[in-house]
């Protein structure tokens, strides 16, 4: 299979261990786990070093887009999986994303959150859905999902693009579809850490929104 799993992580010490343990327990043959510590100030780096096959350490917080691209440059697999660090036990659902790409059914798979789960960012999601349709003629249910698998042939194309923080999923989707990539959205039971209505949760969502909007201004250009 020759799979590289790339996980960007910023201050995820409370969740990343379970995520990595679960992936290790899958015992995927010919696979590697690459964690990119994006300038964390907690124990993320220490924990990741115990499980990751490769650990990329950034001296400052550069953002999700840049962290992913740094991880892609270290990937040796024929297939690339991108996963968030806070998936916990649900990270094993990456299996559902692999088959359609391994079987050459499509170039890209994207995880759809399970029915009944609140994905959040509803306004931004609808905006991105609209923009993706305007730019590509394709309608996606989960254009902001960070859980994806694609073939290595797309790496050079993606690495040379300019991605901004949390805006990477939106522009990556548009870039790949405009370049002719075929895709399939796959229902999974992947779940993220619940931020709730706390100040931290509000700040996190606001930061996501700002970075996505910044990216969208240049998306598809």
- Residue 116: pLDDT above 60? no
Alpha-carbon gap, residue 70 to 178, rounded angstroms: 23
Alpha-carbon gap, residue 104 to 65, rounded angstroms: 26
The predicted model scores a pTM of 0.88
pLDDT at 192: 78
% pLDDT > 70, the chain: 83
In eight-state DSSP terms, residue 43 is: S
Alpha-carbon gap, residue 162 to 112, rounded angstroms: 25
Task: Give the list of residues 6+ apart from residue 122 with CB closer than 8 angstroms, or none.
Answer: none
pLDDT at 221: 41
Average pLDDT, the chain: 88
| pLDDT tens readout for residues 120-137 | 567 778 888 888 899 899
Alpha-carbon gap, residue 88 to 75, rounded angstroms: 22
What's the Cα-to-Cα distance from 150 to each of 79, 82, 198, rounded to whole Å?
6, 9, 35
Q: Which of 84 and 195 is assigned the larger pLDDT?
A: 84
Residue 88 has a CB neighbour count (10 Å cut-off) of 20
Tokens 């959150």 label which residue?
A: 113
Alpha-carbon gap, residue 169 to 24, rounded angstroms: 25
pLDDT at 220: 41
Q: Which of 119 and 75 is assigned the larger pLDDT?
A: 75
Return the bridge partners of 63, or none: none
| pLDDT tens readout for residues 136-190 | 999 999 988 999 999 999 999 999 988 877 778 888 999 999 999 999 999 999 9
| pLDDT tens readout for residues 32-66 | 999 999 999 999 999 999 999 999 999 999 999 99
Helix (H, G, I), strand (E, B), or coil: what is residue 144?
Answer: coil
Q: Strand order in 54-58's β-sheet?
A: 54-58, 31-38, 3-9, 79-82, 148-151, 108-112, 183-187
Task: Give the list of residues 6+ apart from residue 131 with CB closer than 8 angstroms, or none.
Answer: 170, 174, 216, 219, 220
pLDDT at 204: 55
Residues 95-109, mean pLDDT to the nearest whole number: 97
- Residue 81: pLDDT above 70? yes
**54-58/3-9 β-pairing:** unpaired
CATH of domain 3-117+145-169+179-194: 3.90.550.10
- Residue 212: pLDDT above 50? yes
pLDDT at 76: 97
pLDDT at 162: 83
C-alpha closest to that of 142 among 168, 182, 175, 169: 169
**108-112/148-151 β-pairing:** antiparallel
- Residue 117: pLDDT above 60? no
pLDDT at 219: 47
pLDDT at 152: 96
Contact 117, 191 (CB under 8 A): yes
């Amino acid at each position: 299979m020759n799979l590289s799993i790339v996980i960007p992580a910023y201050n995820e010490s409370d969740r990343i261990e379970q995520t990595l343990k679960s992936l290790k327990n899958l015992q995927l043959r010919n696979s590697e786990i690459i964690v990119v510590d994006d300038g964390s100030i907690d124990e993320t780096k220490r924990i990741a070093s115990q499980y990751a096959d490769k650990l990329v350490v950034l001296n400052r917080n550069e953002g999700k887009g840049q962290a992913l691209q740094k991880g892609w440059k270290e990937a040796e697999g024929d297939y690339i999986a991108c996963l968030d660090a806070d998936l916990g036990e649900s990270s094993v659902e990456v299996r559902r994303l692999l088959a359609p790409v391994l079987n050459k059914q499509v170039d890209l798979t994207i995880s759809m959150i399970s029915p009944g789960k609140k994905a959040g960012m509803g306004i931004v999601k609808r905006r991105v859905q609209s923009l993706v349709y305007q730019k590509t003629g394709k309608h996606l249910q989960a254009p902001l999902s960070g859980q994806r698998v694609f073939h290595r042939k797309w790496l050079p194309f993606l690495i040379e693009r300019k991605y901004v923080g949390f805006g990477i999923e939106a522009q990556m989707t548009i870039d790949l579809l405009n370049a002719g990539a075929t895709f399939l959205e796959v229902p999974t039971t992947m779940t993220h850490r619940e931020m709730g209505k706390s100040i931290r949760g509000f700040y996190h969502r606001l930061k996501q929104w700002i970075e996505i909007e910044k990216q969208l201004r240049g998306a598809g250009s």
